[in-house]
Amino acid sequence: MGTIVSFHAHPDDESIATAGTLAKAAKAGHRVVLVFATRGELGEPVPGVLAEGEQLSVRRSQECLDSAKVLGAARVEWLGYTDSGMMGEPSNDAGYCFWQASVEHAAKRLAVILDEEEPDVLTTYDDNGAYGHPDHIQVHRVGKRAAELSAVPVVAQQTINRDWMLRGMQGLKDSGETPEGWDMPDNVPPPTFGKPEAEITHRVEAVDFTDQKRASMRCHASQMGPDHFMLAMPDPIFALGFGTEFYVVSDPPSPAAAPELFTDLFLPLR
């Protein structure tokens, strides 16, 4: 069996972006490892969810561990940086935040874990961090360099298939099958989200793991209450929107050299 290391910016990113892939890998007997750059200190907690005096970073760390258990992950690590906040905020300038970290130094921290695990696949994000968050962009940069340092065979950059999402939403509108009481969001995804389908190389079909994916999301209760739009989606729409996960693999190995984990999970998009 192989090993997949999934590198993320904040707690709950693993649930939204790669939970289907990770749950599917674990079910197949592969080793799953989660690494977080930060503990999500600047997240906006759901009102009333924190106990008096409870620190958000401590709560979110525990939520990572709960999510890892749901997904079948064998190990969880943090690189020790702090949340940078959304792009353009003053928090981007804090000297200890992930956005300000030296890519080379952060990559060496991650490479320590990669050298221990010797993964077949490392998941990161696309070069815009899927939606432009500075910590997500930094995950792309740091993950790419760490993979070079540790000679990881495959780097799979998680992304949003913008064209596929728009087609699915338009199809629901045209069919008139949108469930009663559920409003279809307008202008989703924004033009800064994800990649056009022509730039995406691989997909992971994880419809059979959407229950685990949603359970993983629910673990992050400090960020996603029961009325969060992703958790409130009817099951068929959630499966349609989140049951396939998309990746850019810039330098895929030849079929003869590709790790079994990669060929089993990651299907060519075309």
Greatest distance between any 2 Cα atoms in the chain: 56
Contact 121, 87 (CB under 8 A): no
Per-residue pLDDT, 244? 97
Mean pLDDT of the chain: 93
Poorest-pLDDT segment among 86-95, 111-120, 172-181: 172-181
Give me the mean pLDDT over the 54-78 stretch: 98
Per-residue pLDDT, 8? 98
Quickly state the pLDDT bin for 174 (edges 50, 70, 90). low
Pair of tokens at residue 24: 């599917």
Type of residue found at 209: F
Quickly state the pLDDT bin for 188 (edges 50, 70, 90). low
Give me the mean pLDDT over the 249-268 stretch: 94
pLDDT > 90 in the chain, percent: 82
Poorest-pLDDT segment among 169-178, 195-204, 255-264: 169-178
**C-alpha–C-alpha distance, residues 124 and 65, integer Å:** 19
**C-alpha–C-alpha distance, residues 263 and 90, integer Å:** 43
Say what the pTM is: 0.94
**C-alpha–C-alpha distance, residues 208 and 40, integer Å:** 29
Q: Indicate whether 184 pLDDT > 60.
A: no
pLDDT tens per residue, range 105-124: 999 999 999 999 999 999 99
**C-alpha–C-alpha distance, residues 1 and 259, integer Å:** 10
Q: Indicate whether 178 pLDDT > 70.
A: no
**C-alpha–C-alpha distance, residues 86 and 118, integer Å:** 32
